[in-house]
Chains A and B, each alone.
Chain A
Amino acid sequence: MEIYLPIAEMSVHWLTIIGLGALVGFVSGMFGVGGGFLLTPLLVFYGIPSTVAVATTLSHVTASSVSGALAQWRKNAVDFRMAGVMLAGGLFGTMAGVWLFALLERQGQMDTIVSLTYVVMLGAIGGLMLQESLATMRARAAGVALSVKPVNHPWIQKLPFRMRFRQSRLYISVIPPAGIGFLVGVLSAIMGIGGGFIVVPAMIYLLRMPTSMVMGTSLVQIIGLAVVTTLLQATSNYAVDMVLAMLLVTGGVVGAQFGVSAGAKLHGEQLRLGLAVVVLAVCLKLLWGLVVHPGDVYSLTTGAL
């Protein structure tokens, strides 16, 4: 049955959209990622206007992050102070991002910029994960444990405005977490992502947070950011489609549950290899769309300008 989306102003097949939500939910449950970076391009491939796709995906991210965040909170594995500092930076980031979003939309550059940003981000992250997971697999086959070298960032220790994060047993400047929050906020508004795949490595390698705290803290930060960005997109760009969000969330929460149990059966590096392949495939598809000659070099925008 077709269902009409009031904001996207188009009809979609509701089962297809629920299926997309479930598929991305499955991937996000399996790999422990938000899945926004997959869902936004998939919706655009389906034909949803990229503005609506970007603004609506965040509802899916919110819903699929909630159960994980609650589980971590029960384990007392959330550093709310750290999440708060990052979110403060994220608030400014998302405001800048939503403003940029509206500007790009007026200039007609939204689609290209979204695709380009995705190609760069996904290419870099997919490539790194592929390399790392293959190296780990080779090391496992050879019977040696590969240890991640601790990275030292003396400049981070010298920054002012230090704050004590008791839960993470850290005493560091608020500038790096707020800065990461800002960056992810901008990306969240123009790419429709929660930013887990940036926040998690940054927490581990840059902020040196204990691994046990990373999952819960990043999820809480992602939910906060997704909520704020959804509100801003709704008020300044009228780009959030509630019907689309409902369909995606319905599929997403179900898919995520199956993804979690499927993911528990696999090794970490196998998971990362799988995710790297998915990420690189999406990246190549987007790149293809950017460089191949469009059938018609002219495109048409109707309606509110």
Chain B
Amino acid sequence: MKRLLIPVLLLLALPVRAEDVVSGLGQDVIEITSNYTGSNIVVFGTVEQSGALAGRDIVIVVRGPGSDMIVRRRDRIAGVWINRAAAKLEGMPAYYYLASTQPLAKVATPDVMARYGIGMEGLEPTAISSHHDTRPFRDAALRQLARRGLYREAPGSIDFLSENLFRTHVPVPADVPRGQYNVEVYLFRDGDVVSAQSTPLFIDQTGIERRMFNFAHNNPFGYGLATVFMALLMGWLSSLLFRQQA
């Protein structure tokens, strides 16, 4: 009996592939042009070999390029609010967006979330330097970035087009920093990650803006001369125009 059971069990186990997530982006490059006012990118995906719908969750995280930030605190001195204390934060993502099928607390425990770096609460700079207690500065950075629309959590914002096909819209506001972004899609089963996929997304200035920015930084003297010349020319032209009218 035992000799028969083992091959049968193996046979049963073989075709059972793991539950898996496959995802893609509507576009993998966003170009900031002169009339850019912000846009959306579509992140879509499908769950393959899906198990039961209950206990299955999707979390999508979009991370901007790591950047350095300075947080300053104002104190009142002689009636005037002046920047006094400061902290330098390194390696914070310049942009952070999270979409999930339900609030994070219901998806998994904070430990699991921390392990994968999921959730704004768990975001920490790689280094923080200050003469003061750093915690309030880190909290203030999160608060300010959230206010600017650069950090956001949107639980319940993933739409299911069918049982296994999902989609979400990630807002890309007008003032997002340039650089390489990462779109991470996590599949949770009963509170733990069973599959994940990461796709890069590039955001860059293009066209005349990019050339202007490069001009200003690569040849600042020429750029300054061009600006001055433009101003002088416009002033002169307007005086010509005005003299003809008068």
Q: CB within 8 Å of B: which residues of A?
A: 1-4, 6-7, 9-11, 59-60, 62-67, 70-71, 107-109, 112, 116, 223, 226-227, 230-236, 238, 240, 242-243, 245-246, 249-250, 253-254, 256-257, 290-291, 293-294, 296-303, 305
Contact = CB atoms under 8 A, between A and B. Distances in A.
Given A6-B205, A6-B212, A300-B140, 11 more contacts: A6-B209, A7-B216, A66-B239, A109-B83, A234-B221, A235-B220, A240-B227, A245-B227, A297-B74, A298-B74, A298-B143
Interface of B: 32-37, 67-75, 79-83, 86, 88, 94, 136-137, 140-141, 143-145, 174-175, 177, 205, 209-210, 212-213, 216-217, 220-221, 223-228, 230-232, 234-239, 242
6 contacts: A2-B35, A70-B239, A246-B230, A297-B74, A301-B72, A303-B177
A224 to B, nearest CB: 11
B126 to A, nearest CB: 15
B35 A300 contact: no
A305 B225 CA distance: 26
A12 to B, nearest CB: 10
Contacts of A112: 80-83
Contact of B35 (A1, A7, A9): A1
Nearest to B79: A291
Contacts of B235: 62-67, 249, 253
Contact of A302 (B177, B236, B238): B177
Contacts of A298: 71-74, 136-137, 140-141, 143-144
Given A294-B74, A296-B143, A298-B71, A59 B82 contact: no
B230 A109 contact: no
A296 B174 CA distance: 23
Nearest to A248: B231
A2 B83 CA distance: 32
B239 A240 contact: no
A234 to B, nearest CB: 3
A240 B82 contact: no
B32 to A, nearest CB: 6
Contacts of B68: 302, 305
Contact of B70 (A2, A62, A109, A301): A301
A62 B232 contact: yes
Contact of B223 (A109, A116, A234, A297): A234
